[in-house]
């Protein structure tokens, strides 16, 4: 499998170069990322459990999907591509907010990302790519918050970091399927 390159960026998300994905995570360099949150018509969030074979955070619960744009790939196109590849869903995505974080992972890697967060609405069940995710569920935001407080080790670091912004952002996003 060929090496996958990601886009290095500065703190304003301006591209500064490109580098192989694993090397970027080993060095903790700031790079562009995409994060997708899919809600159903009951305002529940579609979660995925990352496949155990992933190079980091395998077996942990997370938002609907995440990834990185390829160099020269538009950010929304990358989010839509990964939603298809990971969850088998073809949905129109709405950009909602951006954020940056620098989070250590349990295996010595670092998630230092400038993230573009997208929302979508769907009642369609996902069709998981088993190399990416091995389980899914829809949960209310209150259920997720309660489980995060009781068992934070069950969730990816970036989901724990990003999730608190979601309830506040939903007020500006129309949840109608």
Alpha helices in 32-140 (DSSP H): 75-87
The answer to whether 66 is a known catalytic residue is yes
Q: 31: annotated binding-site residue? A: yes
Q: 25: annotated binding-site residue? A: yes
Residues 138-157, mean pLDDT to the nearest whole number: 95
Q: 168: annotated binding-site residue? A: no
What pLDDT sits at residue 166? 85
Instruction: Parse the chain into domains and list their residue ranges.
Output: 5-165
What pLDDT sits at residue 119? 95
pTM given for the model: 0.92
Residues 100-119, mean pLDDT to the nearest whole number: 93
Torsion of the alpha carbons at 148, 117, 156 and 51, rounded to the nearest 10: 120
* Residue pLDDT, tens place only, 32-65: 999 999 999 999 999 999 999 888 888 999 999 9
User: Which CATH number applies to 5-165?
Assistant: 3.90.79.10
Closest CA to 65 of 81, 52, 77: 81
Q: Which of 66, 90, 137, 139 is catalytic?
A: 66
Distances, alpha carbon 156 to alpha carbons 57, 58, 65, 172, in Å: 6, 9, 11, 25
* Residue pLDDT, tens place only, 8-38: 999 999 999 999 999 999 999 999 999 999 9
* Residue pLDDT, tens place only, 158-176: 999 999 988 666 655 665 4
| CA atoms of 64 and 38, how far apart (whole Å) | 6
Does the pLDDT value for residue 127 go beyond 90?
yes
Q: Which of 113, 132, 137, 145 is catalytic?
A: 113
């Amino acid at each position: 499998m060929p090496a996958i390159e990601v886009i290095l960026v500065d703190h304003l998300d301006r591209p500064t170069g490109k580098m192989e994905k694993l090397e970027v995570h080993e060095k903790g360099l700031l790079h562009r990322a995409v994060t997708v949150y899919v809600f159903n018509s009951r305002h529940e969030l579609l979660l995925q459990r990352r496949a155990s074979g992933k190079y980091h955070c395998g077996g942990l619960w997370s938002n609907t999907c995440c990834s990185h744009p390829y160099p020269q790939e538009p950010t929304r196109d990358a989010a839509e591509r990964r939603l298809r590849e990971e969850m088998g869903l073809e949905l129109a995505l709405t950009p909602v907010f951006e954020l940056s974080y620098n989070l250590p992972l349990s295996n010595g890697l670092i998630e230092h990302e400038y993230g573009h967060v997208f929302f979508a609405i769907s009642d369609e069940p996902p069709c998981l790519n088993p190399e990416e995710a091995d389980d899914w569920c829809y949960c209310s935001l209150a259920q997720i918050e309660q489980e995060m407080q009781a068992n934070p080790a069950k969730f990816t670091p970036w989901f724990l970091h990003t999730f608190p912004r979601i309830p506040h952002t939903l007020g500006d996003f129309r949840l109608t399927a």
